[in-house]
């Protein structure tokens, strides 16, 4: 029995065939302040290090799931389009669903609608798998705890383990070989003045998936051995900054963590570079603003787009410096997706 199935059997009750006619769920996207990059188990997406993120409020994925009585195949829709069976996204979803099918006969129509760009470094896979597992939980009435849903979401995509909650979420690496201790934990602290600006420079599909990029970095980057130590320090600084509401400490550590991650990727062979010329121009703009005394910082994930961090008091000045910026206030969202 493979390890994914063992995990599922430990979490999901054996009698799970009471189905509703349909179920819907929403999960927010999340942006890591301290990044996950590297696995201790690639089948269970168990991370080499812990990581910490902030959820993006109402930006994420909606999932509707309807069991099909007579269809031989699942039907997977993304943003109102039926995807062909050989599409890479369909394959990822079918692979994930295969862990949960006991009779092998149940098929589903699944519709995903995202209000963020897909596969452009905005954690689309995180919110997709977190929304899907919540929809499956509701459909089958498993009544699982959020930490259990986080473990199951992780089997689809590592960062999905952090997309089950609002606010700050820490994903602990854990030590258990099946990863029963590797799930998200929401932090209690709230920070209403905190703003995130999404600076979308390109919506094009990324040249290399984060999964592949992660694998290549670990296998070829000689700098990788220093990464766990960097993460441990950054994580502790970020948690400390959140508890003290020290924005300079939060922003500078977050930015340093992202720059180190991208240096690490550039050290892979062949080098992995997600930045575009516009990405660097935006970074210089941020640094220039900081020299002028405006506290603004950035982070970058597996794509060219940047996310800016600043406080509400500086919103007007940041918006005038970056007119295309979409501003999210994760702790002020009225939208209730629970």
User: Interface with ligand 2P0 by CB under 6 A: which residues?
Assistant: 32, 35-37, 45, 51, 123, 125-126, 157-159, 210-211, 214, 301-302
Name residue, tokens 């927010």: 28
Closer to ligand 2P0 by Cβ: residue 171 or 314 = 171
CA separation for the pair 317, 126 (Å, rounded) = 31
Closer to ligand 2P0 by Cβ: residue 48 or 317 = 48
Closer to ligand 2P0 by Cβ: residue 34 or 289 = 34
- 3 state DSSP class of 277: helix
CA separation for the pair 289, 325 (Å, rounded) = 15
Closer to ligand 2P0 by Cβ: residue 79 or 95 = 95
Cα atoms found within 13 Å of the Cα of residue 190, Cβ hemisphere only: 9
Q: Residue 154: which of 138, 175, 178 has the closest Cα?
A: 178
Residue 241's CB: how many other CB atoms inside 10 A?
Answer: 20
Is the distance from CB of 178 to CB of 44 less than 8 angstroms?
Answer: yes
Q: Whole-number minimum distance, CB 193 to ligand 2P0, in Å?
A: 24
Closer to ligand 2P0 by Cβ: residue 51 or 111 = 51
Give whole-number Cα distances, 166 to 27, 290, 305, 334, in Å: 9, 29, 22, 12
Question: Residue 230: left if φ>0, alpha if ψ -120 to 50, beta else—which one?
Answer: alpha
Q: Whole-number minimum distance, CB 166 to ligand 2P0, in Å?
A: 17
CA separation for the pair 129, 265 (Å, rounded) = 25
Closer to ligand 2P0 by Cβ: residue 96 or 191 = 96
Q: Whole-number minimum distance, CB 46 to ligand 2P0, in Å?
A: 9
Closer to ligand 2P0 by Cβ: residue 71 or 88 = 88
Closer to ligand 2P0 by Cβ: residue 158 or 251 = 158
CA separation for the pair 164, 25 (Å, rounded) = 11
Q: Whole-number minimum distance, CB 333 to ligand 2P0, in Å?
A: 20
**Residue closest to ligand 2P0 when measured from CB atoms:** 158
Q: Whole-number minimum distance, CB 20 to ligand 2P0, in Å?
A: 28
Q: Whole-number minimum distance, CB 274 to ligand 2P0, in Å?
A: 9
Is the distance from CB of 40 to CB of 48 less than 8 angstroms?
Answer: yes
Structure tokens at 200: 């979308």
Beta strands 75-78 and 107-114: pairing type? parallel
Q: Whole-number minimum distance, CB 247 to ligand 2P0, in Å?
A: 21
Q: Whole-number minimum distance, CB 212 to ligand 2P0, in Å?
A: 9
CA separation for the pair 13, 102 (Å, rounded) = 12
């Amino acid at each position: 029995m493979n390890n994914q199935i063992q995990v599922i059997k430990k979490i999901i009750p054996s009698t799970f065939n009471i189905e509703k006619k349909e179920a819907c769920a929403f999960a927010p996207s999340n942006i890591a302040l301290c990044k996950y990059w590297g696995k201790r188990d690639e089948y269970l997406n168990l991370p080499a290090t812990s990581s910490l993120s902030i959820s993006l409020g109402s930006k994420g994925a909606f999932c509707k799931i309807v069991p099909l009585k007579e269809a031989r195949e699942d039907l997977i829709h993304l943003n109102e389009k039926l995807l062909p069976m050989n599409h890479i996204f369909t394959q990822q979803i079918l692979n994930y669903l295969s862990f949960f099918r006991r009779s092998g006969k149940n098929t589903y129509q699944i519709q995903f609608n995202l209000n963020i760009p897909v596969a452009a470094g905005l954690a689309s896979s995180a919110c997709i798998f977190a929304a899907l597992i919540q929809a499956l939980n509701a459909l089958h009435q498993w009544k699982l705890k959020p930490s259990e849903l986080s473990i199951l979401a992780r089997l689809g995509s590592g960062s999905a383990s952090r997309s089950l909650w609002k606010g700050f979420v820490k994903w602990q690496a854990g030590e258990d070989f099946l990863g029963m201790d590797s799930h998200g934990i929401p932090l209690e602290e709230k920070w209403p003045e905190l703003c995130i600006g999404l600076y979308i420079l390109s919506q094009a599909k990324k040249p290399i998936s984060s999964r592949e990029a992660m694998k290549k970095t670990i296998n070829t980057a000689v700098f990788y051995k220093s990464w766990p130590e960097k993460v441990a320090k950054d994580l502790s600084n970020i948690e400390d900054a959140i508890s003290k509401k020290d924005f300079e400490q939060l922003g500078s550590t977050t930015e340093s963590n992202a720059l180190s991650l991208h240096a690490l990727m550039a050290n892979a062979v062949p080098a992995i570079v997600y930045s575009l010329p516009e990405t660097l121009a935006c970074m210089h703009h941020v640094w220039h603003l900081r020299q002028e005394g405006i506290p603004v910082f950035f982070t970058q994930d597996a794509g060219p787009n940047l996310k800016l961090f600043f406080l509400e008091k500086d919103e007007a000045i940041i918006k005038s410096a970056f007119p295309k910026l979409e501003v999210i206030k994760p702790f002020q969202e009225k939208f209730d997706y629970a």
